[in-house]
């Protein structure tokens, strides 16, 4: 991705990824955890602590990568993510209860 037309503003490398949720698609960055970005997009996600220790915000991760800048205290089931502290690192697909 090369941009020659824009003046060279101090480049803030904003990695944008797609989050698929059912028929919806939300764009998120790596700057903040997934939860706040979903909320801003008007999606209700269950939460309690917002700090990674209660597991209330656990969501299914169908595919794609997320990382945790700090290891959450809550147990993360395989195939799930903790929305309050997960940073999205690729396009991902998520799902609530089936």
CA distances from 19 to 11, 25, 55, 59, 79 (A): 24, 6, 20, 12, 15
Taking CB under 8 A as the binding criterion, the range among 5-13, 16-24, 42-50 that sits at the site for another protein is 42-50
Taking CB under 8 A as the binding criterion, the range among 7-15, 20-28, 67-75 that sits at the site for another protein is 67-75
Residue 15 in contact with another protein, rule: CB under 8 A: no
CB 28 within 8 A of CB 37: yes
d(CA 67, CA 83): 11
Residue 44 in contact with another protein, rule: CB under 8 A: yes
Note the residues at the interface with another protein (CB under 8 A): 32-33, 36, 44, 46-56, 58, 69-70, 73-75, 77, 80, 84-85, 96-97
């Amino acid at each position: 991705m090369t941009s020659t037309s824009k003046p060279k503003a101090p480049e803030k490398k904003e990695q944008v990824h797609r989050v698929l949720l059912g028929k919806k698609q939300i764009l998120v960055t790596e700057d903040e955890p997934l939860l706040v970005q979903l909320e801003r997009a008007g999606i209700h996600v269950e939460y309690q602590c917002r700090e990674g220790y209660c597991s209330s915000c656990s969501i299914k991760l169908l595919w794609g990568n997320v990382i945790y800048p700090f290891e959450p205290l809550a147990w993360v089931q395989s195939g799930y993510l903790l929305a309050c502290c997960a940073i999205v690192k690729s396009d991902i697909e998520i799902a609530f209860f089936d």
